[in-house]
Structure 1
Amino acid sequence: MVGVESEGIFSTLLNATLIIGGYPILWREIVGNAFGLASAVGGMKRVVWAWPVGIVGNMLLFTVFMGGLFHTPQDLDLYGQAGRQVMFLIVSLYGWYKWNRARTAGMREPDNTDPSRSIVSEPAADSAAVQPSWASAKARLGMLAFAIAGTVVFALIFDALGSWGPWADAWIFTGSILATFGMARGWTEFWLIWIGVDIVGVPLLLTAGYYPSAALYLIYGAFVMWGFIVWLRVQRREGNTATS
């Protein structure tokens, strides 16, 4: 009986909806996006907790964007949006490991600690996990080639799977891979890639009826510009140039 009751509570929480303007919105879409935004804030501040927080959001949003499978109010499958949640989870594990290792190594070097740096405006040296820098010319060419090839290949795959809006979905998926990998490597360009993802993502999600996610993309658009400026200032102050 306990197992049946637990399953009932889980199902109720999973399918809980909020009616906004006559449209049913899943609470887990709102909560998942809130975790995603919190992860982005952590990424801007260059703190390790950004990764595990993002993973929680990824798991929730996967169930949202596989709407046909999980019978959401939209009842649409966006394979690119769902697939990138899986990708985020995998890359986040890599980023979590890499940032945690970098932070641990930095804490062993007390000469690098500047107590005057504030966690409010920019992270204190003992909490910053990565130092921003530009990607090398070779790395940029590699990202451009992957952006083109990845969008074409994934669009064909998503179209064959029956994804709604396969080409836009494919760029969002490909751009998200590049941006997340760039964040893990500490490349300042990753913020600009997110802007490209947002430009395509907002109209796609609005048309598909994923209004909280579309709204969050608009918030992300402003946020990533702020994050880009913050990282650029840190990079200029610390004199970081390019890394491969």
Structure 2
Amino acid sequence: MDFIAWFDINNTLINIPIGGGYAMSWIEAIGTIFGLLCIWNASQEKTINYLFGLINVSLFAIIFYQIQLYGILLLQLFFFCANLYGWYAWTRPTSENGDKLEVRWLSKQKLSYTIAVSVLAIGIMTIYIDPFFLALANVSVDGLNLLGADLARPTLEPDAFPFWDSVMTVLSVVAQILMTRKYVENWILWVVINIISVGIYAAQGVYALSIEYAILLFIAMNGTRTWMGTAKHNQAKQNETQQNKAEETVNELA
């Protein structure tokens, strides 16, 4: 198989008998596998998830370029950078003792701020989603043209589900950021995102993606359960450490 041809979305791996039939390309299949590996390993708190994530977003960026979804292509750049930062944040020491970032819950203040910003962003994007993504698409095209792509500026159809699309976009960005900081809430957001995604893709007749997000929903639910248990353990360990330090201080003063 020609190496360049492998990246072509018309290079079909398998025809899936779903709906009217769905031709899955090699690049989509491999990208999806790496995406599933990324999410599963993240749910197990394994840093290698970021390597799989980088491969996933890179392959999907190529797909979105070919099907001329330039706004979503630009979003992949954010996820690429977020994966690089997450890899760094999960592996660097957070203290002089060499402690690493631990799974925990958001504080009440951070949670309130996150909810407020998310609601505001969803509201604004719902109103301006079409010009917003057109602007993103034009930025992507202009950037690619600087590299010699010679692309025409795209014409986008109005969004079919502006509110739900805005919810998925905003919450995906927020969830990715929370994951890089090991906050449990990221998995709760991924559960919500995946539930919406299953419904939207099924409504649009894209049944293969609907099934994929159903699998991601299962992984996200498992990630929520696992990280909640880890956060509880970490909090108990932190409380015990603080109690021991307090007792040591009392003994020193006695």
TM-score (normalizing by structure 1)? 0.74
The match for 1:93 is: 84
Any conservation in 1 of the 2:6–2:26 contact (CA below 8 Å)? no
Amino acid corresponding to residue 148 of structure 1 in structure 2: V
- Number of corresponding residues: 207
Q: Where does 1:121-140 land on structure 2 (aligned, <5 Å)?
A: 130-140=101-111
In structure 1, the gaps of 5 or more residues are: 1-5, 113-128
Matched, 1:188 2:179: no
SS of 2:24's partner is strand
Distance of 2:16 and 2:3 partners within structure 1 = 23
Partner of 1:154: 125
Shift of 1:220: 1.4
Distance 1:216 1:100 in 2: 29
Coordinate RMSD, CA, aligned: 2.7
Say if 1:99 and 1:130, in contact at 8 Å, map to a contact too: yes
The residue matched to 1:102 in structure 2 has which SS?
Answer: coil
Deviation string, structure 1 residues 129-169 (Cα, Å, up to 9, x no partner): 53211101111111111211222333344312236433322
Match of 1:52 in 2: 51
Q: CA deviation at 1:29?
A: 2.1
Percent sequence identity over aligned pairs:
21
SS in 1 for 2:225: helix
1:205 is aligned with what amino acid?
A: Y
SS of the aligned residue for 1:24 comes to strand
Closer, same or farther: CA 58–208 of 1 in aligned 2, 3 Å: farther
Equivalent residue letter for 2:5: S
Q: Does 1:222 align with 2:218?
A: yes
Secondary structure of the 1:25 match is strand
Residue 4 of structure 2 is matched in structure 1 by 10
1:239 pairs, out of 232, 235, 254, with 235
Match of 1:123 in 2: none
Call closer, same or farther: CA 1:164–1:28 in 2, change over 3 Å: farther
Which whole-Å CA distance do the structure 2 matches of 1:238 and 1:152 have between them? 36
Shift of 1:10: 0.8
- In 1: Cα distance, 2:125 partner to 2:58 partner: 21
> Residues 69-98 of structure 1: CA distance to partner in whole angstroms, max 9, x if unpaired?
514xxxx8484x544422211211111111
Runs of 4+ in structure 1 deviating by more than 4 angstroms, as ranges, are none
Structure 2 residue identity aligned to 1:85: Q
Q: Verify the 8 A CA contact 2:7 2:62 in the aligned structure 1.
A: no
Check 1:209–1:32 CA distance in 2 against 1; reply closer, same or farther (3 A cut).
farther
Structure 1 144/223 Cα, relative in aligned 2: closer, same or farther at 3 Å?
Answer: same
In structure 2, the partner of 1:176 is 172
Q: Is 1:35 the equivalent of 2:34?
A: yes
Unmatched tracts of structure 2, length 5 or more:
135-155, 239-254
Distance (Å, rounded) in 1 between the aligned partners of 2:32 and 2:76? 11
**Residues 96-142 of structure 1: CA deviation (Å, up to 9, x unaligned):** 11112139x79x65xx8xxxxxxxxxxxxxxxx53211101111111
Kept in 2, the 8 Å contact 1:83–1:173? The answer is no
TM-score (norm. length: structure 2): 0.71
AA matched with 1:134: W
The whole-number CA distance in structure 1 between the counterparts of 2:113 and 2:130 is: 25
- Give the structure with higher Rg (CA): 2
Cα 1:54/1:48, change in 2 over 3 Å = same
Q: 1:188 and 1:140 mapped to 2: Cα distance?
A: 11
